[in-house]
Amino acid sequence: MRFAFSTLGVPGMPVRDVAGLATGAGYHGVELRAHPEEPVHTGLGPSERAEVAREFADAGVEILTIAGYAKVAEAQDAAGEAALADELAGLVGLAADVGASYVRVFPGAGDRPAAEADADAARRLGAIAPLAADRGVTVLLETHDSHRTGAAAARAVGPVGHGSVGALWDVLHTWLGGEDPAATQAVLAPHLGYVQVKDVASAEDKTPLPLGAGVLPLAGCLGALVGDGWDGWLCWEYEKRWYREAPALPGLLRPGREHLEQLLTNLEK
């Protein structure tokens, strides 16, 4: 498997420093949080996008994902629907311009009836799929908030039936949803783009911890993936942006990668 980390763990860090951090800690790629407070966002012009792509290419680091915040299952009026379509198109364009393989989106349905939310998500994902395919990008719906389990995400992604739309498995949210890793892998296998790993102390205390220091079933998740023959990307999403008191990520990156490698080695025995 290949290893990446999210810039959510190093908020505001310049792209050159992110690339250097990745190479120094032995990571193959990065997930770039796309937000106006970050160095990479949809407001960048063509030359700035080209420079981002150059920085990572020169370092030999892959830009795995543009992690956006579009909510594809949220209720919208006509104006909101148009704005969401523009937001999705902007994220796909940014990903293509910097050479990212994926765009991350959220469900965000809130307390809407599941059938309505699923239908809207599938429709909107289906609408962006042709542009994503044309630009060589895959849009992934993360297991998150209203659709935190693999089963819930698959309800929205499955009906789209397009190769440029898939799912992103966030292991925290499927665990919070009470879904067994084997069940998550089974239902997401036809759609799985990659997997976000992390660790926390408990369901009540979600302050990010070093990998292996918390309660998340990382070995079980990797076991389900390996048992199904999956050999893709594992991305460490360390949510430092939301938990300022958490230890700094840079010094944890190499031990985190080594922990994942050890878990994988143990599975091969």
Segment 10-64, tens digit of pLDDT: 999 999 999 999 999 999 999 999 999 999 999 999 999 999 999 999 999 999 9
pLDDT over threshold 80, residue 216: yes
**Per-residue confidence (pLDDT) for residue 183, from 0 to 100:** 98
**Per-residue confidence (pLDDT) for residue 268, from 0 to 100:** 84
pLDDT over threshold 90, residue 269: no
pLDDT in tens, 159-172: 999 999 999 999 99
**Predicted structure pTM score:** 0.98
Taking the C-alpha atoms of residue 153 and residue 134, their distance in angstroms, rounded to an integer, is: 24
pLDDT in tens, 102-145: 999 999 999 999 999 999 999 999 999 999 999 999 999 999 99
Indicate the burial class of 82 (C-beta count within 10 angstroms; 0-12, 13-18, 19 or more).
exposed
User: Are the beta carbons of 214 and 172 closer than 8 angstroms?
Assistant: no
Domain count of the chain?
1
pLDDT over threshold 80, residue 181: yes
CATH of the domain at 159: 3.20.20.150
Dihedral, 261, 34, 66, 64 alpha carbons, nearest 10: -30
Domain containing residue 61: 2-268
Mean residue pLDDT of the chain comes to 98
User: In sequence order, what are the residues at sequence separation of 6 or more whose Cβ sits closer than 8 angstroms to the Cβ of residue 113?
Assistant: none
Mean pLDDT along residues 175-198: 98
Q: Given pLDDT bands bounded at 50, 70 and 90, which one contains residue 69?
A: very high
- 251 vs 269, which has greater pLDDT? 251
**Per-residue confidence (pLDDT) for residue 64, from 0 to 100:** 98
The DSSP 8-state label assigned to residue 7 in this structure reads G
